A and B are shown apart, each in its own frame.
Chain A
């Protein structure tokens, strides 16, 4: 926790924030809040002046998603680990509710056949299985998934910054190898909407999600003798609605609603669901290109979409713009929670540092081979009724089980 007396300076804006904080009894980090707001304002203005209004909307939507991820402590990685290690299923059950709600919202839209709108569908094959397995393993070592890495970096976590840097490097290497993996056994995308229609896809998805929900609930019941209902909690804690909304921690259901509606809005505004990791490979490729590397020698960067993204500004790349918003949104939320850089006082140890590097590389490489991360493949993939999302889930969960077993070797806690 940062010290308020040092955090608030003599700056008038800081003083204003301090005064408001005092009047409401809320402890916030005025400096971080102010810097995050200035960042959101500056970048939002630049995007507005140089690109198009829909990208400004996506930028601020990314910011809102960052706030929801931080205040909801919506970590996919920890949710899976809690089930594997402690047999506590509330986190993963909240994720399943999130996907169920997003499916209800997005499948009818995708099934309406509007032109210029595509779901997060992807091929099913060896590339997907290997990629998602590596991603699942890497996210337990790296300490966060795609969204988790991004929002914790925004919240000032230095170890996760190391993870992000190597995530980017791994993604770049993944783009070099993806064409080779695509030529291994596999099939074209399998959409449940195409196979069963909108209603059929909703029913099939609903049954599958309910089956997993009940199964992991049973695992918790068997292990603990009772089941936590944190996943369906809607009422805030003792801080009250307003203070909890502003400073966290949000009940899971608040984050679930914001993330599901946010994904729907992303689909409606940009034409495709929310994703995160494509931008990491893109940023890596831009840096490599700046150092003289000819990216056109790699097949991936000759495909229409990546080639366009590489050629043009990051400010017209939807994934990048939303990621920038997410980083600043998480920073804002961490400031409001007075928790920015909370782990900064702990010097990085060698083994956890090594785990961050390995985890980042595995996640980056795995996300490219697996056509996305926990957001782009798991959340958006299943919410788009794509079979690849389910296979990604199963394979990444298997990788996570291995990753959890490896964590003690890197001095990482359960």
Chain B
């Protein structure tokens, strides 16, 4: 049987980590008016050779 406070604590911890990451990001800087911040709302790299962004083996020296 789980403890309710542990469930809430675990979710709050994850939420806090997400917030810390977000508050230090270019997207947050952009949203707060720093127009020169480089956001990456669309990170899709159509030139990559794999979903993780790896280059093609043929393009490597």
Q: Mark A169-204, 1 if CB is under 8 A from B, else 0.
A: 000000000100011001111000000000000000
Name B's interface SS: loop
Q: Say which residue of A156, A271, A313, A372 sits within 8 Å of B25 (CB atoms).
A: A313
Contacts of B53 in A (CB 8 A): 303-306
Q: B4-61: which residues lie under 8 A (CB-CB) from chain A?
A: 4, 7-8, 11, 15, 18, 21-22, 25-28, 31, 38-58, 60
Do residues B22 and A313 form an inter-chain contact, with CB atoms below 8 A?
Answer: yes
Do residues A304 and B57 form an inter-chain contact, with CB atoms below 8 A?
Answer: no
Residue of A nearest to B37 (CB): A312
Do residues A312 and B25 form an inter-chain contact, with CB atoms below 8 A?
Answer: yes
Do residues A305 and B48 form an inter-chain contact, with CB atoms below 8 A?
Answer: yes
With A118-B44, A188-B58, A304-B53 as contacts: A312 and B1 at CB distance below 8 Å: no
Bound together, the chains give a CA A281 to CA B50 distance in angstroms of 15
Bound together, the chains give a CA A316 to CA B22 distance in angstroms of 9
Interface 9-residue window, one of A31-39, A61-69, A71-79, A139-147:
A31-39
Closest 5 pairs (CB-CB, A-B): A305-B53, A313-B25, A122-B50, A341-B2, A305-B45
Bound together, the chains give a CA A122 to CA B28 distance in angstroms of 32
Q: Say which residue of B21, B38, B57 sits within 8 Å of A187 (CB atoms).
A: B57
Q: How many residues of B contact A (CB 8 A)?
A: 37
Question: Is residue A248 within 8 Å, beta carbon to beta carbon, of the partner chain?
Answer: no
With A6-B1, A122-B49, A314-B21 as contacts: A39 and B11 at CB distance below 8 Å: yes
Report the minimum CB–CB distance from B15 to chain A (whole Å).
Answer: 7
Bound together, the chains give a CA A43 to CA B56 distance in angstroms of 36
Do residues B48 and A182 form an inter-chain contact, with CB atoms below 8 A?
Answer: no
Contacts of B58 in A (CB 8 A): 187-188
Contacts of A2 in B (CB 8 A): 1-2
Report the minimum CB–CB distance from A329 to chain B (whole Å).
Answer: 14
Bound together, the chains give a CA A174 to CA B16 distance in angstroms of 27
Question: Is residue A135 within 8 Å, beta carbon to beta carbon, of the partner chain?
Answer: no
Interface positions of B (Cβ within 8 A of A):
1-2, 4, 7-8, 11, 15, 18, 21-22, 25-28, 31, 38-58, 60
Report the minimum CB–CB distance from A247 to chain B (whole Å).
Answer: 18
Bound together, the chains give a CA A3 to CA B18 distance in angstroms of 32
Report the minimum CB–CB distance from A114 to chain B (whole Å).
Answer: 11
Q: A298-341: which residues lie under 8 A (CB-CB) from chain B?
A: 300, 303-306, 308-309, 311-318, 324, 340-341
Do residues A278 and B44 form an inter-chain contact, with CB atoms below 8 A?
Answer: no
Bound together, the chains give a CA A188 to CA B50 distance in angstroms of 9
Residue of A nearest to B11 (CB): A39
Q: How many residues of A contact B (CB 8 A)?
A: 64
Do residues A116 and B44 form an inter-chain contact, with CB atoms below 8 A?
Answer: yes
Do residues B27 and A50 form an inter-chain contact, with CB atoms below 8 A?
Answer: yes
Do residues B52 and A116 form an inter-chain contact, with CB atoms below 8 A?
Answer: no
Enumerate 9 A-B pairs (CB-CB under 8 Å) in ascending A order.
Answer: A3-B1, A35-B11, A121-B49, A271-B46, A303-B53, A306-B53, A315-B22, A315-B27, A318-B43
Contacts of B39 in A (CB 8 A): 312, 316
Do residues A43 and B15 form an inter-chain contact, with CB atoms below 8 A?
Answer: yes
Do residues B21 and A278 form an inter-chain contact, with CB atoms below 8 A?
Answer: no
Do residues B43 and A182 form an inter-chain contact, with CB atoms below 8 A?
Answer: no
Report the minimum CB–CB distance from B38 to chain A (whole Å).
Answer: 8
Contacts of B56 in A (CB 8 A): 123, 188-189
Contacts of B41 in A (CB 8 A): 51-52, 55, 316
Contacts of A380 in B (CB 8 A): 51
Do residues A371 and B52 form an inter-chain contact, with CB atoms below 8 A?
Answer: yes
Contacts of A304 in B (CB 8 A): 45, 47-48, 53
Bound together, the chains give a CA A281 to CA B28 distance in angstroms of 22
Q: Say which residue of B11, B21, B54 sits within 8 Å of A123 (CB atoms).
A: B54
Q: Say which residue of B2, B18, B25, B27 sits within 8 Å of A344 (CB atoms).
A: B2
